[in-house]
Amino acid sequence: MEYFSNIGKIPYEGKNSTNPLAFKYYNPDEMINGKPMREHLKFALSWWHTMGGDGTDMFGCGTADKTWGQADPTERAKAKVDAAFEIMQKLSIDYFCWHDRDLSPEYGSLAETNAKLDEVADYIKAKQDETGLKCLWGTAKCFDHPRFMHGAGTSPSADVFAFSAAQIKKALETTVKLGGNGYVFWGGREGYETLLNTNMGLELDNMARLMKMAVEYGRSIGFTGDFYIEPKPKEPTKHQYDFDTATVLGFLRKYGLDKDFKMNIEANHATLAQHTFQHELAVARTNGAFGSIDANQGDVLLGWDTDQFPTNIYDTTMCMYEVIKAGGFTNGGLNFDAKARRGSFTPEDIFYSYIAGMDAFALGFKAALKLIEDGRIDKFIDDRYASWTTGIGKDIVDGKVNMADLEKYALEKGEVTDSLTSGRQEMLESIVNNILFTL
């Protein structure tokens, strides 16, 4: 059955097209540096927002019909698969991401829930074999059921910890079954509402214990991909332990998890932590921990995770600039952890939203390539740090001098104003504009 019979395969028509159901910049098979654009961008559909999110919010019920014409939960789960594959094929999206419960809901017991999940996963696997579409990453939804009210890995209840481990074990098996090269931990309830009831030290040790067990088990069943932590500072809890990339790096290193884990950076989580999206990517990259991206954007005036489809070209450009500098995606990709606004409730809006986000990234990618090819920014940065490649700077870098040597140098040298140069921020910003608007 076709779910979107009034929408065909979305063509690439180029930047002069006014067809709302065509790509203006995303040309999946265009070769760039020896690779088709689709392989540079590795777009993924998010099963939760796209297949399940009906626009429900704190003040009102759903506005979009995401029942896929089925009342029975198992039938609906399978209909979701059919509709998802249709969307991906029509939009030339090669990957998808999921939580276990997006694929198949909870039933009466964990055993039954697992058996139903297997049934749906087998159904997906068959579709993958037919179409070649791939799983980017999987994860376990250890945050929505009431049992997770005080956390999953950080719950004060050891039984909840055990239940979480069981759920993650199954989600890992499902990831391996679907050929996923990523497994995400997003700690939505792994934090606290008040320190008056919280043993922070034990909670963090336990979270690490759970992750260690997941790594050991994942590796034992042939998962060779990357584990990711997706930092987010708050929401739903007041404080989440995976606050931002720098905080997560400290955690991973403390518990010896840094060899197996990388970051899944989400644009709107970066801004919730009062960072730019680029900052989070740069921290991950410079620490060798860049993994994958949840592509969306927030609203500058709102302090929560609005998960909007990304359309800001400055942000997509600087994001792709960081991705290119990191050597491009390996196991990761660009997952649209994004939802159409509650008022954009029609089936066509799914397509308009993805087209907007994918085009914004395709254009940002081209702009980032041009920034790098142009070379002015890189050259400026190199020149700015030139003092570290010769003389005393090189001696410091090479570890040849100590505090006393530097004191002697400074006393002889006198005031340093002659070696200070302008940071030229405004000039550099105008170079970015120049490159962006002459594409």
Sites of contact with Ni ion (CB under 5 A): 266, 294, 305, 337
Among this protein's residues, is 279 annotated catalytic? no
Enumerate residues 6+ apart whose C-beta is below 8 A from 259.
none
244 binds, among ligand XLS, Ni ion, none (CB under 5 to 8 A by kind): none
User: Which residues contribute to the site for ligand XLS (CB under 6 A)?
Assistant: 99, 139, 184, 186, 230, 232, 266, 294, 305, 337
Q: Indicate the residue type of 69.
A: G
Give the nearest distance from C-beta 63 to ligand XLS in angstroms.
20
40, 49, 99, 279: which is the annotated catalytic residue? 99
On whether the CB atoms of residues 186 and 169 are closer than 8 A, the answer is: no
260 binds, among ligand XLS, Ni ion, none (CB under 5 to 8 A by kind): none
Distance CA 252, CA 261 (A): 8
Q: In whole angstroms, how far apart are CA 247 and each of 194, 242, 252, 253, 255?
A: 19, 7, 9, 10, 13
Q: Which is nearer to ligand XLS, 235 or 395 (CB)?
A: 235
Q: Which is nearer to Ni ion, 244 or 294 (CB)?
A: 294
Q: Which is nearer to ligand XLS, 272 or 368 (CB)?
A: 272
Give the nearest distance from C-beta 272 to Ni ion in angstroms.
8
Select the residue whose beta carbon is closest to ligand XLS and give its number. Answer: 186
Q: In whole angstroms, how far apart are CA 190 and each of 227, 239, 244, 358?
A: 17, 9, 13, 32
Among this protein's residues, is 242 annotated catalytic? no
Token reading at 99: 């939580």
Q: Which is nearer to Ni ion, 44 or 64 (CB)?
A: 44
Give the nearest distance from C-beta 385 to ligand XLS in angstroms.
35
139 binds, among Ni ion, ligand XLS, none (CB under 5 to 8 A by kind): ligand XLS
H-run or E-run covering 36: strand 35-36
**Among 320, 294, 323, residue whose Cα is nearest residue 307:** 294
Q: Output phi, psi for 158, to 5 deg.
A: -65, -30
164 binds, among ligand XLS, Ni ion, none (CB under 5 to 8 A by kind): none
Q: Which residue carries 């397509």 as its tokens?
A: 351
Q: Which is nearer to Ni ion, 230 or 322 (CB)?
A: 230
Token reading at 433: 């504009």
94, 100, 102, 244: which is the annotated catalytic residue? 102
Instruction: Give the catalytic positions in this structure.
Output: 99, 102
